[in-house]
Amino acid sequence: MPFYKDHVYPYLVSALGNPKPIEDIRRRIVPLAQGIVLEIGVGPGVNFVHYDPAKVNKVYALEPNPGMLRRAEEQRRRAQLDIEFLDLPGERIPLADASVDTVVSTFTLCTIPGVAEAIEGLRRVLKPGGKLIFFEHGLSPDPPVRRWQKRSEPLFRWAFEGCHVTRDIPSLIGKGYFNIEQVDAGYLSPFPKSGSYCWWGVAVPELSK
């Protein structure tokens, strides 16, 4: 459904994807980025305004959806940043090994089909001492909510281009040979609990891998 993917879905994300509780967390975690930054799944570019131009030298903005790129281009014009768009899926990062200081992922790891491959790619491009800043939603710790998540996941995957609400994102990050240094979690209104359990924090690559 190219029309839905390129036109309706970007509109839904722009209209629903950044209510105040989510915006507040973006304001807290995105400014932690520094140096050369890779942001995967930039969507409509809502994170651009939260980067600190005094700390960030360049942002590689990875986004495969043409409709999202059109909206993100509007945000790029407003940001005081050097932003270069990369229109490839999250599993295919066209950057050299150990070439970025920070990776940013907000509400992206839930949708990438090859999420384990994508996380491996994030670790590959990070420099020693680099960090992954993440803000994701997924599997609730509460059994009643989990049951609703399993029932409603087909709807989420259809409406939000493959979104999985039953992924345990911190576990996936850990399996990708990252150490999570800082994480917070909780339900973020105004969405139903089945789609609003989130984690946000910072992880660093394991030095032995």
Distance CA 64, CA 42 (A): 9
Residue 18 near residue 40, CB atoms below 8 Å: no
pLDDT category of residue 208 using cuts at 50, 70 and 90: low
At 70-122, the pLDDT tens digits run 889 989 988 889 999 998 776 779 999 999 999 999 999 999 989 999 999 99
- Measured from the Cβ of residue 113, the count of other Cβ atoms closer than 10 Å reads 11
- pTM confidence score: 0.91
137: region left, alpha or beta (phi > 0 left; psi from -120 to 50 alpha): beta
CATH value at residue 155:
3.40.50.150
Q: Which domain holds residue 176?
A: 2-205
Residue 15 near residue 43, CB atoms below 8 Å: no
Distance CA 89, CA 66 (A): 12
Distance CA 102, CA 134 (A): 11
Structural domains of the chain, count: 1
pLDDT category of residue 205 using cuts at 50, 70 and 90: very high
Distance CA 163, CA 195 (A): 10
